């Protein structure tokens, strides 16, 4: 790896690519556009020192491209393009070492993807986001968990009792005065016999 790094610094990229493809990919991405990075899968053997950085760069590129299509004030884009790439890449980037920022970004990508799925599939994706939400920084957990609850409580996501339980759980954790808290209150009112306890 040191020899490859020396060759990269010396400008011998073709030789370095043969000796250490992950480092060569990382160097190539220094001047690549987000679209170019998103289109190129990470090639990195397990345990290589460059893997986490490569996955992070690709995750950020995919998430940036996805979020660029958001409407003003929207939390998520209107299409799923680039979201699966962001989910996969954030998960891979934080696999070696826990990282609250990457975990929160993975959770956000999963929840945005879930919103664009059919209700039952979206609820399943929200469950997949639970681990990432739990490992996010404490200040981001309430909002992410409330968004996950909203997805799990959508009509068609499950039985009314399950939707009610998700709504009440979300209301307990949602930041007071947030849009999510208001949406959860409206969702609760729309579910028959949704009382104070699940």
Q: Give residue 195's pLDDT.
A: 75
Distances (CA, A) of 66 to 13, 168, 169, 176: 31, 31, 29, 28
Q: Which residue has the higher pLDDT, 152 or 10?
A: 152
Residues 40-62 have pLDDT tens digits of 999 888 889 899 999 999 999 99
**Domain spans of the chain?**
1-31, 32-190
Q: Give residue 3's pLDDT.
A: 46
Rounded Cα distance, 62 and 77, in Å: 12
The lowest-confidence range among 31-35, 75-79, 170-174, 187-191 is 75-79
Rounded Cα distance, 55 and 41, in Å: 9
pTM for this entry: 0.85
Give me the DSSP letters along the chain: -HHHHHHHHTT-HHHHHHH-HHHHHHHHHTT--HHHHHHS-----TT-TTHHHHHHHHHHHHHHHHHTTPPTT-SS-SS-TTHHHHHHHHHHHHSSS--HHHHHHHHHHHHHHHHTS-HHHHHHHHHHTHHHHHTS-TTTHHHHHHHHHHHHTSTTSS-HHHHHHHHHHHHHHSPTT-HHHHHHHHHHHHSTT--S--
């Amino acid at each position: 790896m040191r020899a490859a790094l020396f060759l990269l610094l010396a400008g011998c990229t073709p030789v370095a690519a043969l000796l250490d493809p992950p480092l060569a990919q990382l160097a190539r991405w220094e001047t690549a556009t987000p679209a170019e990075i998103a289109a190129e899968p990470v090639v990195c053997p397990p345990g290589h020192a460059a893997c986490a950085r490569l996955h992070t760069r690709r995750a950020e590129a995919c998430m940036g491209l996805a979020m660029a299509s958001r409407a003003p004030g929207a939390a998520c884009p209107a299409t799923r393009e680039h979201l699966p790439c962001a989910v996969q890449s954030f998960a891979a980037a934080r696999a070696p070492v826990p990282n609250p920022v990457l975990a929160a970004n993975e959770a956000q990508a999963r929840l945005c993807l879930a919103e664009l799925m059919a209700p039952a599939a979206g609820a399943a994706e929200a469950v997949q986001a639970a681990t990432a939400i739990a490992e996010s920084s404490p200040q981001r957990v309430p909002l992410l968990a409330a968004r996950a609850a909203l997805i799990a409580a959508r009509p068609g996501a499950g039985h009314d009792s399950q939707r009610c339980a998700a709504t009440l759980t979300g209301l307990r954790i949602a930041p007071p005065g947030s849009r999510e808290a208001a949406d959860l209150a409206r969702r609760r009112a729309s579910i028959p016999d949704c009382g104070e306890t699940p």
